[in-house]
Amino acid sequence: MTYEEYLESNGEMTYTNVGTSMMPLLRQHRDLFTVRKKDSARCRAGDVVLYRRPPDSYVLHRVVEVRKKDYVILGDNCIKKEYGITDGDIIGVMTGYVRKGREHTVKDRSYRIYKAYIMHTITLRVIFKKAKLKMKRAVRRLL
């Protein structure tokens, strides 16, 4: 059963996180996230969405910019923005997560503060991560 089929029949699903793209919010194989089926409403900047990336992979990333026909999306721990993600690609919107056995919703004050921090520091975090990668490469060349 695909994620789309599951969401269609149940309305929401909880799943474990795989990958590091949403760190520090979600840790691989430890934390769970819950998404509800996307309705007809447009997503907003800051929403964490589950979308299908062709051919058959699913990605959980944050909407960083809403444009007329599509979205710009970026993982909290990523440096490369994805362009051209449409409403048709998005199958669910995150409503909550479980961390260290404790349930959180996207309406919790601590999550809203985290989201504001992430959204306001995108440029600075990307610049810092790119510089860190260049430094690691330079050190490897010297060794």
User: Mind listing the pLDDT tens digit for each residue in 41-58?
Assistant: 999 999 999 999 887 889
Query: Of all helices (H) and strands (E), which one includes residue 126?
Result: helix 122-142
Total domains present in the chain: 1
Does 143 have pLDDT greater than 90?
no
| Structural tokens at position 106 | 């996207």
Range of the domain at 88: 3-142
User: Mind listing the pLDDT tens digit for each residue in 86-112?
Assistant: 999 999 999 999 998 999 999 999 999
The pLDDT value recorded for residue 17 is 86
Using a pLDDT cut of 90, give the percent of the chain over it: 87
Residue 21 belongs to domain with CATH number? 2.10.109.10
pTM of the entire predicted model = 0.90
Rounded (5°) CA angle 30-134-29: 5
